[in-house]
Amino acid sequence: MNAVVELRDVHKSFGSNVVLKGVSFSIPKGQVVAIIGRSGSGKSTALRCMNHLEVIDSGTIHVCGHAIHSPDIDLRRLRMDVGIVFQSYNLFPHLTVEENITLAPMAVKKKSAAQAREIAERTLRQVGLADKAKAYPEQLSGGQQQRVAIARSLAMEPQVMLFDEVTSALDPQLTGEVLRVIETLAADGMTMVLVTHEMEFAARVADTIIFMHHGKVWETGPGTMLRDPQTPELREFLAHGL
C-alpha cells in the first residue's frame, strides 16, 4: 500500500533541546496509527511537524503528496488535505457552532453559504451534535466542544486527520464521547494519527502503535504489542501508564 504519511530520518531541536533524533515511519492510506510515549518523548512534536506547525531541521516528510520539508510547500493546499485537532478546542467563542464550522469552507474552499451549511450539518451528524448548530461554545460541555473541533476539521474534507492528546483535558465520561467519534471515523476508513495516553483505546482502534522514547521510534507493532512489549522501556512505560 502506498504511504500517505512518510517520515524519513527527521530531526528537530528547540535551541539546545534535541526533540526528534532521526524519526522514520510510514502510514498507508486508511490506517490508524497511535503514537504513545512519555511527556517529552517527541510524539506531539512529530505530529505537529506533519502539518508544518513545526519546521524540521533535517530529514524528509511527505504527507498526501506534499513535501513538508520543502521551502516551497503550499501551506494552504496542505491544510486542506491534513486536518489537526488539539487538546484545546480553539473554537471562536463569539460564533455559533455552525459558524465555527462554515468559516473555513467558505474562506478557504470558496464554498457558498448554503454549501457550507450543508457541510456543517453533515459533519455535526458525524460527531453526534446535529442539534447543536445554533449553540455557542460556552453552552457546550468540554466533550461537545471537542467534537465540534473534530467536525470543523472534517468540514475541510481532509485526507488525513491528526489528533494531539484530544482527550487529555476531559473527564472519563466526556473522553468516551470523543473516542467514540474517532472510532467511527476509523471504521469509515479515515487515515488518522493519534497522539494519546488512552492505551486501551489505542490497542483496540490502532492498526499500528508507535512507542517513542527519547526522541526516537523505540518500538512499533499492532495493538497486541501493548500486551507483549519487546523492550524494557515500553514495559516500564506501560507499568506506570495503565
Q: How many CA atoms lie within 13 A of 214 on its CB side?
A: 3
pLDDT of 86 > 50? The answer is yes
pLDDT recorded at residue 182 = 92
pLDDT recorded at residue 172 = 85
Three-class secondary structure of residue 100 per DSSP:
helix
pLDDT (average), residues 22-32: 95
Q: Which domains does the chain have, with CATH numbers?
A: 3-90+160-241 (3.40.50.300)
pLDDT (average), residues 154-181: 90
pLDDT of 1 > 60? The answer is no
> The whole model's pTM is what?
0.93
pLDDT recorded at residue 242 = 46
**Interatomic CA distance for residues 182 and 185, integer angstroms:** 5
Handedness of CA 93, 80, 31, 5 (dihedral sign): negative
Contact 184, 126 (CB under 8 A): yes
C-alpha distances in angstroms, 55 versus 8, 41, 159, 197, 217? Answer: 14, 17, 21, 25, 19
Kindly report the number of other CB atoms within 10 A of residue 146's CB atom.
28
